[in-house]
Structure 1
Amino acid sequence: MLFSMGFEAQLAHPTPERERRLILDCVDQAVFAEEMGFDRIWAPEHHSLKWYAHMSAPEVFLTYVAARTSRIRVGHGVVLMPFKYNHPVRVAERAAMLDLLSGGRLDLGAGRGATRQEMTLCDVDPERTYLEVEESLRMIAQMWRTDEFSWDGELSIAPHPILPRPVQLPHPPLFMACSKVDTVRLAAEYGVGALVLGFDGIDEIREYHDAYREACASRTGERFVSDRVNDHFSALLPTIVLDDAEEAFRIGARGQRFFAESLAHWYGGGPPPAQDTEDVDNVAEIAAARDRVVAKLHEANVPVTPKALSTFNIDHAYGSADHAAGFVERLRDVGVDEVMLMIQMGTVPQDVCMETIRQWGTKIIPRFR
């Protein structure tokens, strides 16, 4: 099994000074992750999502991390690939430069940028996002195979060289963000790895994994975006691990609440996340927030699905190293290839993030090597 970390760069009480400190803290976490034996980090691109994600230029963050490390892979996961976020040629140019500078350590993921906040900022048509993500992946998979790249599709490009070329030819491994069963199956049909954001626990991850493997087994290859197929399945696991298991759960529940409320705000139109949550019962508060979402959905005559409530689940790897290892054992039994840890949540202090990374590196990861 592989072990990685994801960085949304979340921030409670955002100010310019705190934001600067946050980004540098994330760099320190990523560098320490290499020392502790992690295989990869992932940084997704988001725009204008205050509190939830301050990682608007992950390629710069990842390049800085690559310069301070030598082994750990850097996952550009994900790049927003609808054309008005990023022209496919610019995605390819930046990806190749990062792959070159890192010595061939880049993994490249695709996403839609599906919040109204992001789409209105960049004038993205929500009806075209799937179409444009697929075309971008197909274009990137072809760009360095000849000295002159041309394309005739939704975009038209006359023959041009695409420079520089990556170390990993014909292209770095391709992935796609997946937050529902349909997109997991789509990733399998494209022949790209699945980055699964399953907050509802092991059963949800199992559902996604089984759908992905079934789609891999039944596909014909007609929708492959590249002849270099990547069937890698990575699953998210929120975690805080400390010697004091009760304190780890308290901090994890608080971080999960911030994560859930931030996500609900930008993706579901909920209120902004609560900022002052240190001295409250976050377990009770996250349950109350979940009930508010249910009431809102009922009022709007919208079906209440497990997916709509999944981020309010706090049954994650918050506790001791043994408790967290139990989650890895269950994910291993499901068949996942990679456990992507979510440690940096908006209210989790830097010293707790670093200690959690240390605990995983010294007490958990070695059990699964």
Structure 2
Amino acid sequence: MRIHTRKVVAMRFIFMSEGETPPGHTHEHRYRELVDEVLLAEEVGFDAFGTSEQHVAIGTATTSAPEVLYPYLMALTTRIRFVHLVTLLPTRINHALRVAERLATEDILSNGRVELGVGRGNTTLALRAFEVSPTENKAQQIEGLEVIRRALHNDVFSFVGEHYKIPPRSLVPKGIQSPYPPIHMATGSPESVRTAAELGVGAIVGGFYLGFEFLENMLRIYDDALAGATHTYPRQAQKLVAVGGGMHCAETRDEALKWARGLTESVALSTDAYQRLSKLSDDYQYMGAVKHLDFNDERYMFEESSGFIVGDPEDCVAQVQRFADLGADSLVMRIDGLPHKELMKSIELFGKYVIPKFKNPKAVVRTPEAILDDIRTARPAHYAELEAFESAQKETTGNTVEVGEAR
């Protein structure tokens, strides 16, 4: 185990939702709820909101057009940032130039509050619907990322590759963040997290429930590769850890666990897609590791998988600290899959009682007993200092009298 310097002030908290809509409800109603959740998240101190780009999903996600949802939310907010978690870069889903154009437009409309995460897709439902080959989309993602960075960084840019051939052009419009909005890449394997570091972009790690040791190793690989790489573009290094199973903060631990148990069903559904993908391409083979997990093992899932933060506010503080000790810069926490009322309570409790302990711990009001204990502990040192001061004063006064008498 490495010893890490504790990171408290630098930690960012990102609220993620995919608008999960239970049977019997409507997507319209769920989206209205989601808007309220984002507004509350801004009010109570979350740093950013993000959602994934999920197409033709069943049961777990409805957010197929984040580029439409975000500008609406940007107009209703003033501080919270918006992170694409993630935009899919297979060429049949998103042309890289269109992604760059949309990102620059969102950058303007949000007054510099947008970030881009990129990925290649993690469900056969979406990949087959868009006729994307799982053996080609990794190369398409890397080329697409290069196109985006060239378009954002260079006034005039061009590109020639296997999947893109773009003659000299100039991106319109131009965004406002310098050098351009932060860019991150979804990374599920040691190879991909190393690639993100070598490219100098942020790495979104986690989401595979393989435990804290696996997560620590991924973060170490990123740090080591980042230190040894030479970067063509301005470095935008950041380690974003995805708590993909869910965060649920309640007034008591028992209440939090009662609600969180229902989240494991969504986890089982999403990871089943991982296993199918692992059989279709060597590039996805690493996803097959989830088949060895027991999703009915409540202790492992909630305490050791690194996929959940569940409990009362003090439990959540301790669990967040565990991620901070590993060196995470940002926590991407999925707050979804429960009734709207419970999600709102969770967001409010986390914002009021957890975030301040990492953002501004000195401002957190402590109990009278804790303050009195510290006062009692500090008394001996104070009295020793006071005694030394008075002794020095007497000595100084005595010397002054002696000098006067001599005159």
TM-score normalised by structure 2 residue count: 0.76
Counterpart in the other structure of 1:314: 302
Tell me what 1:184 maps to.
193
Cα 1:241–1:303 change in 2 (3 A) is closer
Q: CA deviation at 1:305?
A: 6.8
| In structure 1, distance between residues paired with 2:339 and 2:62 | 16
For structure 1, the 5+ residue unaligned runs are 271-301
State how 1:162-311 maps to structure 2 within 5 Å.
162-198=171-207, 199-219=209-229, 221=230, 224=231, 226-237=232-243, 238-255=246-263, 257-269=264-276, 307-309=290-292
Match of 2:37 in 1: 29
8 Å CA contact retained: 2:189, 2:286: no
Residue 26 of structure 2 aligns to a residue whose secondary structure is helix
**Residue in structure 2 matching 1:141, options 136, 149, 155:** 149
Give unmatched runs, 5+ long, in structure 2. Answer: 1-10, 278-284, 296-300, 360-407
Name segments (4+ residues, structure 1) moved above 6 Å: 302-305
1:145 deviation in Å? 4.1
Pairwise CA distance, 1:357: 0.7
- Pairwise CA distance, 1:306: 5.1
Q: 2:362 aligns to what?
A: none
Q: Supply the AA of the counterpart residue of 2:341.
A: D
Percent of residue pairs bearing the same amino acid type = 30
Tell me if the contact between 1:3 and 1:40 (Cα under 8 Å) persists in the aligned partners. yes
SS at match of 1:163: coil
SS in 2 for 1:79: strand
Residue aligned with 2:321, SS: helix
Q: Which residue of 2 aligns with 1:95?
A: 103
For residues 235 and 73 of structure 2, what CA distance do their matches in structure 1 show? Answer: 27
More off after superposition, 184-193 vs 257-266: 257-266
TM-aligned CA deviation for residue 144 of structure 1: 3.8
The 2-side partners of 1:130 and 1:311 are apart by: 29
Residue matched to 1:339: 331
Report if aligned partners of 1:253, 1:314 keep a CA contact under 8 Å in 2. Answer: no
Corresponding residue number in structure 2 for 1:367 = 357
CA contact (8 A) 1:140 1:171 kept: no
Provide the residue aligned with 2:118 in structure 1.
Answer: 110
Q: Distance in 1 between matches of 2:17 and 2:219?
A: 23
CA contact (8 A) 2:18 2:62 kept: yes
Confirm or deny: 8 A CA contact 1:84 1:124 kept in the other structure: yes
* Alignment length (residue pairs): 329
Separation in 2, partners of 1:235, 1:319: 19
Matching residue of 1:296 = none
How far did 1:218 drift? 2.6
Distance in 2 separating the partners of 1:18 and 1:265: 25
Q: Letter of the aligned partner of 2:356 in structure 1? A: P
> Which segment drifts farther, 238-247 or 66-75?
238-247
Q: CA separation of 1:306/1:122 partners in 2, compared to 1, >3 Å: closer, same or farther?
A: closer
Measure the CA separation in 2 of the matches of 1:112 and 1:336: 23
Partner of 1:9: 19
- The separation in 2 between residues aligned to 1:177 and 1:311, in whole angstroms, is 24
CA distance in 2 between counterparts of 1:107 and 1:354 reads 24
Give, in angstroms, the shift of residue 149 of structure 1.
Answer: 3.3
Instruction: Give secondary structure in 1 for the equivalent of 2:56.
Output: coil
Aligned-residue CA RMSD in angstroms?
A: 2.2
- Computing the radius of gyration from Cα coordinates, the structure with the larger value is 2
CA distance in 1, matches of 2:184, 2:151: 17
Give, in whole Å, the separation in 1 of the partners of 2:254 and 2:319.
17
Amino acid at match of 2:20: Q
Name the SS for the 2:341 alignment partner: helix
